[in-house]
Chain A
Amino acid sequence: MASVNLEKIVKTYPNGFEAVHGVDLEVRDGEFMVFVGPSGCSKSTILRMIAGLESISGGELKIGNTVVNNLRAKERGIAMVFQNYALYPHMKVYDNMAFGLKLAGLPKQEIHERVTQAAKMLEMEQLLDRLPRQLSGGQAQRVAVGRCIVKRPEVFLFDEPLSNLDAKLRASMRVRLTELHRELRDRGQPSTAIYVTHDQVEAMTMGERICVLKDGTIQQVDTPTTLYDRPVNAFVAGFIGSPEMNIRPATVVARDGGLGVEIGDTMLPLPAAYSDALGNRIGQKVQFGIRPENIGTPRSIFAAGSQERASVANCTFRLREHMGNEVYTYFDLGGHEFAARVPTDFAGEIDKAERGQTIPLGFVMDKAHIFDADTGLNLTLSALQPA
């Protein structure tokens, strides 16, 4: 059983490039932590430093109570699943799984027990005699996971393990991996997991907590719902959620009895709760953020019971995408492009709209976020409802 502690972790490459700038993070024992961020945000580098595949330039890394900075990979009690599966192509599945145990000098009997148990758990007993090249992508990935399980590591590391699979398989493997983690934890086996992905859907669905990274610094670490509802800055807000949050330039203005934001020539009133946070910003440029599902037709807003908190504005219709249960609607407001997600049942007026036509759309303003125009910090965090 082990937690993973990163204290002021720095990675500087020999050419002087600093990829990771003093990362502090605690992954709790048994937790499923996801590192997510765009490519080049150093999420894999941090994972590889934890694995012992990259040296740590500065700071302290602890697994359990041991400082592991200078320990070799095999002494850290970790196991890792790679993006390309990294199965040994010349060994059968059984030997792939048993290899680490053989090197560790475990008795044959125990190796056999562990491998068959893991194979059973992953429902791949029939694959044990095959060579990696005879496996499909999903099977290879299961073997790679199995190879980790047999080692009974303190910490599981996953480096974008699903990104080579097709969309359908990825969705089912996502569920399997999450279930597997809960199963191990329920049995009381060590199950701390760190999972790297660039896919925010994987992050949201799998992570118990998510660490959002950008350019080698942590932006926010929290539960998926908190990240979604209370992002600390515009980057997190834009990265988490699909389609992404609309974040557009706006100006804070005073109106009768409160504040509002002006987007181009349109003014949207802000809820009274935002007054404290934004009172000293009247006339200043900010970023206005609102998620697509918080914009809708008057009917959909009414159906959701948000009519009291919503303001209706006239928008210029551009395009619609039918997703089945929802219609993604793209429109202009005050010269900026916005996207909305409207349930199909209430999308009547959108369905009939012509390109360039003016349609009324409602904005649920107590779900809106106001970000500082320069730093991107969320100014309305204190006023937003806790998740």
Chain B
Amino acid sequence: MSSDTVATALPKTRIPSNAEVLRTQRRERISLALRYLILGSVGLLMLYPLFWLLGASFKSNQEIFTTIWFLPRDLTQLLDFSAYYNGWMTRTEFTFATYFLNSFLIVIPRVIVTLISCTLVAYSFARFEYPGKKFLFSIMIGTMLLPPIVLRVPQYLMFKELGMIDTYWPLILPSAFAVDTFFTFLVVQFLRGTPRDMEEAAIIDGCNALQLLWHIVVPLLKPALISVALFQFIWTMNDFIGPLIYISTVEKYPVSLALKMSMDVSGEVEWANIIAISIVALLPSLTVFFLAQRYFIEGATSSGIKG
């Protein structure tokens, strides 16, 4: 009805025929399907190793090394979680519960001190004027370019002098002095992109520099700080070389070291156990990532607050 009215009212308007509409819709559907197909298969290709890992935790050694298909030949094996149990119990006197606890004893304090030190240093760089600021900032950027391996030997000697070998201090303490330059840089840039009006309003409201930091700047920095916490959590959780150098007692091993250890305690390695625990070791990082995802994306992409 309505198309009739339009047609009479505007005789020169061309009304598309039914066939033409259908043809256009079909073409759009085909192109959409094609796009999904290509994207889906590339995505699958990239994720395949992860699926394989998951499947391999249910396979025997022999099957792991002879098949490339991710599902075990006998699908009932998928109900058998013994690899997870055996891997968890380990062949040492400690279970992975100890190792996970150790990891958290490193990761959690480190994330906390990183957040505090980064915020303080970034606040000073982004908001205060003092002599030598530019020079100090370029030194900080300079250390970002330095390969971390260069510092291993002098750092080791220093912590040895301090009697901190075989403790978690060498893994946590540096972060308390904002040596994770990348994070400091990230927060500085975020803060630079944030308008100062709110801080000025707070100064007029009566804030001193520290109240300003706590009541105004930290809430503004939340997305950036969540990104920092997330990265530091994942990187520290996965760190291998740090604990390898400083931790020598098995009782104090974090997950990354314990995993390596399960590979070489005996000649005969039950790979499914190791793979199973590797998957479990991924879980904390994955959980934290998904919890923080929303803020993390905001922090990585936004440069401030809209006016």
Which of A72, A78, A79, A99 counts the most B-chain CB atoms under 10 A from its CB? Answer: A99
B205 at the interface (CB under 8 A from A): yes
A80 and B207 form a contact (CB under 8 A): no
* Chain B residues with CB below 8 A from A87, complex form: 198, 201
* Chain A residues with CB below 8 A from B307, complex form: 84-85, 164
B198 and A103 form a contact (CB under 8 A): no
Q: What is the bound-complex CA distance between A88 and B215, given in angstroms?
A: 9
B191 vs chain A, min Cβ distance (A): 14
Q: For chain A, residues 36 to 60, give those with C-beta under 8 angstroms from any C-beta of chain B.
A: 51-53
B204 and A103 form a contact (CB under 8 A): no
From DSSP, what is the main secondary structure of chain A's interface residues? loop
Q: What is the bound-complex CA distance between A51 and B203, given in angstroms?
A: 10
Q: List 21 contacting pairs A-B, 8 Å CB cutoff, sorted by A.
A: A51-B204, A53-B203, A72-B203, A74-B205, A79-B204, A80-B204, A83-B197, A84-B195, A85-B197, A87-B198, A87-B201, A88-B219, A90-B219, A99-B202, A99-B205, A100-B204, A100-B205, A100-B206, A103-B205, A104-B206, A151-B205
A82 at the interface (CB under 8 A from B): yes
A interface, how many residues as a size bin? Answer: 20 to 34
B28 at the interface (CB under 8 A from A): no
B203 and A88 form a contact (CB under 8 A): no
* Chain A residues with CB below 8 A from B198, complex form: 86-89
B200 at the interface (CB under 8 A from A): yes
Which of A53, A87, A164 counts the most B-chain CB atoms under 10 A from its CB? Answer: A53
A17 vs chain B, min Cβ distance (A): 16
Which of B195, B197, B220 counts the most A-chain CB atoms under 10 A from its CB? Answer: B197
Given A53-B203, A78-B204, residue A103 in contact with residue B219 (CB < 8 A)? no
B126 at the interface (CB under 8 A from A): no
A373 at the interface (CB under 8 A from B): no
Given A84-B195, A99-B215, residue A74 in contact with residue B200 (CB < 8 A)? no
A73 at the interface (CB under 8 A from B): yes
* Chain A residues with CB below 8 A from B302, complex form: none
Contact of A86 among B200, B206, B215, B219 (CB under 8 A): B200
A238 vs chain B, min Cβ distance (A): 31
B203 and A74 form a contact (CB under 8 A): yes
* Chain B residues with CB below 8 A from A83, complex form: 197
B26 vs chain A, min Cβ distance (A): 43
B197 and A82 form a contact (CB under 8 A): yes
Given A99-B215, A103-B207, A164-B307, residue A88 in contact with residue B195 (CB < 8 A)? no
B interface, how many residues as a size bin? Answer: 10 to 19
* Chain A residues with CB below 8 A from B203, complex form: 52-53, 72-74
A144's nearest neighbour on chain B, judged by CB, is B201
Q: What is the bound-complex CA distance between A73 and B220, given in angstroms?
A: 22
* Chain A residues with CB below 8 A from B303, complex form: none
B206 and A74 form a contact (CB under 8 A): yes
B216 and A73 form a contact (CB under 8 A): no
B75 at the interface (CB under 8 A from A): no
Contact of A103 among B195, B211, B220 (CB under 8 A): B211
* Chain A residues with CB below 8 A from B19, complex form: none
* Chain B residues with CB below 8 A from A74, complex form: 203-207
Q: For chain A, residues 74 to 127, give those with C-beta under 8 angstroms from any C-beta of chain B.
A: 74, 78-80, 82-90, 99-100, 103-104
Which of A51, A84, A87 counts the most B-chain CB atoms under 10 A from its CB? Answer: A84
* Chain B residues with CB below 8 A from A51, complex form: 200, 204
A85 vs chain B, min Cβ distance (A): 8
* Chain A residues with CB below 8 A from B145, complex form: none
Q: What is the bound-complex CA distance between A245 and B200, given in angstroms?
A: 38
B205 and A52 form a contact (CB under 8 A): no
* Chain B residues with CB below 8 A from A78, complex form: 204
Q: What is the bound-complex CA distance between A51 and B204, given in angstroms?
A: 7
Q: What is the bound-complex CA distance between A103 and B210, given in angstroms?
A: 13
Q: What is the bound-complex CA distance between A100 and B202, given in angstroms?
A: 8
B282 vs chain A, min Cβ distance (A): 33
Q: What is the bound-complex CA distance between A80 and B206, given in angstroms?
A: 12
* Chain B residues with CB below 8 A from A103, complex form: 205-207, 211
B201 and A86 form a contact (CB under 8 A): yes
Over the window 214-239 of chain B, the binary record of Cβ atoms lying under 8 Å from chain A Cβ atoms (1 yes, 0 no) is 01100110100000000000000000
Q: What is the bound-complex CA distance between A249 and B205, given in angstroms?
A: 51
Q: What is the bound-complex CA distance between A220 and B203, given in angstroms?
A: 32
Contact of B204 among A52, A85, A89 (CB under 8 A): A52
B305 at the interface (CB under 8 A from A): yes
Instruction: Give 6 closest A-B pairs by Cβ, nearest first.
Output: A100-B205, A86-B197, A74-B206, A90-B219, A86-B201, A103-B206
Q: What is the bound-complex CA distance between A89 and B202, given in angstroms?
A: 12
A53 and B205 form a contact (CB under 8 A): no
* Chain A residues with CB below 8 A from B219, complex form: 88-90
Q: What is the bound-complex CA distance between A74 and B203, given in angstroms?
A: 7
Q: What is the bound-complex CA distance between A80 and B261, given in angstroms?
A: 63
Contact of A53 among B195, B200, B206, B211 (CB under 8 A): B200
* Chain B residues with CB below 8 A from A100, complex form: 204-206
A78's nearest neighbour on chain B, judged by CB, is B204
* Chain B residues with CB below 8 A from A86, complex form: 195, 197-198, 200-201
A84 and B206 form a contact (CB under 8 A): no
Q: What is the bound-complex CA distance between A79 and B203, given in angstroms?
A: 10
Q: What is the bound-complex CA distance between A375 and B215, given in angstroms?
A: 52
Q: What is the bound-complex CA distance between A72 and B212, given in angstroms?
A: 14
A89 and B220 form a contact (CB under 8 A): yes
* Chain A residues with CB below 8 A from B201, complex form: 80, 82, 86-88, 147
Over the window 108-122 of chain B, the binary record of Cβ atoms lying under 8 Å from chain A Cβ atoms (1 yes, 0 no) is 000000000000000
13 further A-B pairs in the complex, CB-CB below 8 A; given A52-B204, A90-B220: A53-B203, A72-B203, A74-B205, A74-B206, A79-B204, A80-B204, A84-B195, A84-B307, A86-B197, A87-B201, A88-B216, A90-B222, A104-B206
